[in-house]
């Protein structure tokens, strides 16, 4: 039996940083990872996928350069091996950075292997027993594979395996019209593949308001992506040239199929029963406002707790746990204002409530929208798709939520995120003096157009 002051299981975006903070405090910490340091973000999520998105945008800009007076003779060719190698380099640089960082820490023991609970204070890994009074779970999530007819008869891709693809699909069928699926759909269309998106629900990006979902669909259709919403009876079969994807209303001859129908937590093989840790019906570990589980001395951080499915919320879980356990603070998950982005092009930046949620809350609300075609910076750049939208409380004057689908929307939204976290009222933000010419300069104008609904 090896004893530590703390054991961290999983090396995503919360666990390693918490481990490092504890080591700084003089603690002896074991960090257990079954595969790669960095978790989904570094190895199969944000870093490689956004690198691929950048390559796809470069191809898109090159194809459309003539509109800007830049003539590139010949056809724009894509070298998928180079594209893939570039993404791998970004991942490996980040992963190796973590390896080097941890190697220089006295008190940190990194163990590669599969950890399982033996009791609330003991885990086994590689045949050894480890014990600690504090155990932190940061085990992440993985793609969900739905039980659809014929799915086990085909070779399908997931959001993890598709990033290793080094050749261009003839026709990529994307099953699932949410954030991950849409990013890959546009990416591979820009690389030159035919792309079809098949979504069981009535609209794309179902979390969003209908006007946002419709605008996203318009963006993708304008680039030649075939979209099928409300699809039922989805089934697969091998064909002579690839894979046939059939629905109640369409038949698609695909060369590759990407399953992008959601993710589930990696909690089913941790031996949680032996520790007495409770999960919900979806497998997410139940935590309180401080990220503590029902078992004293065990916490769950990141995607596995169901309180956020993003790199930034996972990192914020680290910040909450470190502040409370190491700094004597009293931070709460419920204080977090949720914000995220969809990295199609143009991107969607989102924070707080949707219009639908705000209306359902019973508040008296105000709404303002503005098309990107009325934003000077967007016109100068020749990228006018999308629109801005903000929702405010008519009585408190606080901003409730916002969506910016348009050029640099993922960056512009931070002005509103900061204002909401600071509790700034919209009239105060309205009188700021932003820089011209930027997309952000339209935020005061957008707020000035708020009208009661």
CB-CB contact of 208 with 354 (8 Å): yes
Is residue 433 exposed (0-12), middle (13-18) or buried (19+ Cβ within 10 Å)?
A: exposed
Domain boundary, last residue among 291, 306, 335 = 335
CB-CB contact of 265 with 306 (8 Å): yes
- Is 224 strand, coil or helix? coil
Question: Looking at the structure, do residues 49 and 123 belong to the same domain, yes or no?
Answer: yes
Question: Looking at the structure, do residues 169 and 296 belong to the same domain, yes or no?
Answer: no
Question: Looking at the structure, do residues 181 and 233 belong to the same domain, yes or no?
Answer: yes
Per-residue pLDDT of the chain (453 residues; tens, 9 = 90+): 999 999 999 999 999 999 999 999 999 999 999 999 999 999 999 999 999 999 999 999 999 999 999 999 999 999 999 999 999 999 999 999 999 999 999 999 999 999 999 999 999 999 999 999 999 999 999 999 999 999 999 999 999 999 999 999 999 999 999 999 999 999 999 999 999 999 999 999 999 999 999 999 999 999 999 999 999 999 999 999 899 999 999 999 999 999 999 999 999 999 999 999 999 999 999 999 999 999 999 999 999 999 998 999 999 999 999 999 999 999 999 999 999 999 999 999 999 999 999 999 999 999 999 999 999 999 999 999 999 999 999 999 999 999 999 999 999 999 999 999 999 999 999 999 999 999 999 999 999 999 999
Q: Is 46 part of a structural domain of the chain?
A: yes
Q: Is 128 part of a structural domain of the chain?
A: yes
pLDDT score, position 265:
97
pLDDT score, position 295:
98
Enclosing domain of residue 426? 339-452
CB-CB contact of 93 with 227 (8 Å): no
Q: What is the DSSP letter of 344?
A: S
Cα-Cα-Cα-Cα dihedral of 33, 35, 36, 38, to 10°?
-50
- Into how many domains does the chain fold? 3
Q: Is 366 part of a structural domain of the chain?
A: yes
pLDDT score, position 70:
97
Q: Is 386 part of a structural domain of the chain?
A: yes
Domain boundary, last residue among 261, 290, 323 = 261
CB-CB contact of 367 with 391 (8 Å): yes
Phi, psi of 251 (to 5 degrees): -135, 120
- Is 155 strand, coil or helix? coil
Question: What's the whole-model pTM score?
Answer: 0.96
Q: Is 19 part of a structural domain of the chain?
A: yes
Please calculate the CA angle 173-174-177 and round it to the nearest 5 degrees.
145
CB-CB contact of 12 with 128 (8 Å): no
Please calculate the CA angle 335-336-340 and round it to the nearest 5 degrees.
165
pLDDT score, position 172:
98
Give kind and range of the element (H or E) at residue 218.
helix 210-222
User: What are the catalytic residues?
Assistant: 436
Q: Is 63 part of a structural domain of the chain?
A: yes
pLDDT score, position 280:
97
pLDDT score, position 271:
98
Q: Is 146 part of a structural domain of the chain?
A: no
Domain boundary, last residue among 209, 233, 261 = 261
Q: Provide the angle, in degrees to the nearest 10, between the axes of the packed helices 80-103 and 15-24.
A: 20
Question: Looking at the structure, do residues 43 and 108 belong to the same domain, yes or no?
Answer: yes
CATH number of the domain enclosing 417: 3.30.390.30
pLDDT score, position 411:
98
Question: Looking at the structure, do residues 186 and 250 belong to the same domain, yes or no?
Answer: yes
Question: Looking at the structure, do residues 302 and 279 belong to the same domain, yes or no?
Answer: yes
Question: Looking at the structure, do residues 420 and 286 belong to the same domain, yes or no?
Answer: no
CATH number of the domain enclosing 303: 3.50.50.60
Q: Provide the angle, in degrees to the nearest 10, between the axes of the packed helices 311-326 and 15-24.
A: 30
Q: Is 231 part of a structural domain of the chain?
A: yes
């Amino acid at each position: 039996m090896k004893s530590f002051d703390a054991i961290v299981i999983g090396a995503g975006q919360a666990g390693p940083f918490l481990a490092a903070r504890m080591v700084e405090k003089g603690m002896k910490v074991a960090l257990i990872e079954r595969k790669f340091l960095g978790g989904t973000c570094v190895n199969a999520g944000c870093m490689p996928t956004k690198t691929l998105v950048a390559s796809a945008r470069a191809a898109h800009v090159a194809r459309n350069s003539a509109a800007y007076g830049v003539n590139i003779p010949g056809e724009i060719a894509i070298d998928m091996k180079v594209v893939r190698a570039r993404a791998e380099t970004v991942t490996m640089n980040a992963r190796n950075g973590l390896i080097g960082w941890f190697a220089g820490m006295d008190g940190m023991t990194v163990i590669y292997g599969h950890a399982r609970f033996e009791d609330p204070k003991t885990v086994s890994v590689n045949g050894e027993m480890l014990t600690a009074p504090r155990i932190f779970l940061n085990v992440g999530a993985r793609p969900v594979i739905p039980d659809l007819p014929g799915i086990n008869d085909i070779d399908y891709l997931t959001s993890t395996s598709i990033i290793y693809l080094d050749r261009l699909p003839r026709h990529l069928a994307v099953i699932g019209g949410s954030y991950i699926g849409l990013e890959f759909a546009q990416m591979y269309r820009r690389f030159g593949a035919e792309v079809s998106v098949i979504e069981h629900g009535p609209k794309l990006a179902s979390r969003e308001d209908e006007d946002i979902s419709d605008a996203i669909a318009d963006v993708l259709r304008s680039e030649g992506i075939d979209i099928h919403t409300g699809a039922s009876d989805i089934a697969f079969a091998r064909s002579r040239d690839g894979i046939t994807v059939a629905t109640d209303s369409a038949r698609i001859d695909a060369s590759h199929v990407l399953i992008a129908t959601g993710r589930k937590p990696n909690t089913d093989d941790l031996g949680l029963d032996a520790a007495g840790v409770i999960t919900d019906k979806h497998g997410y570990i139940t935590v309180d406002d401080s990220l503590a589980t029902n078992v004293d001395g065990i916490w769950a951080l990141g995607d596995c707790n169901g309180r956020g499915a993003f790199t930034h919320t996972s990192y914020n879980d680290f910040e909450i746990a470190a502040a409370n356990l190491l700094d004597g603070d009293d931070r709460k998950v419920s204080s977090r204002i949720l914000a995220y982005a969809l990295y199609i092009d143009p991107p969607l930046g989102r924070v707080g409530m949707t219009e639908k949620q705000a209306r359902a809350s019973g508040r008296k609300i105000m709404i303002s929208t503005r098309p990107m075609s009325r934003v000077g910076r967007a016109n100068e750049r020749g990228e006018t798709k999308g629109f801005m939208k903000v929702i405010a409380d008519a009585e408190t004057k606080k901003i409730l939520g916002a969506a910016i689908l348009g050029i640099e929307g993922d960056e512009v939204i931070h002005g509103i995120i900061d204002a909401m976290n600071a509790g700034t009222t919209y009239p105060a933000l309205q009188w700021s003096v932003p820089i011209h010419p930027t997309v952000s300069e339209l935020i005061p104008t957008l707020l000035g157009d708020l009208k009661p609904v």
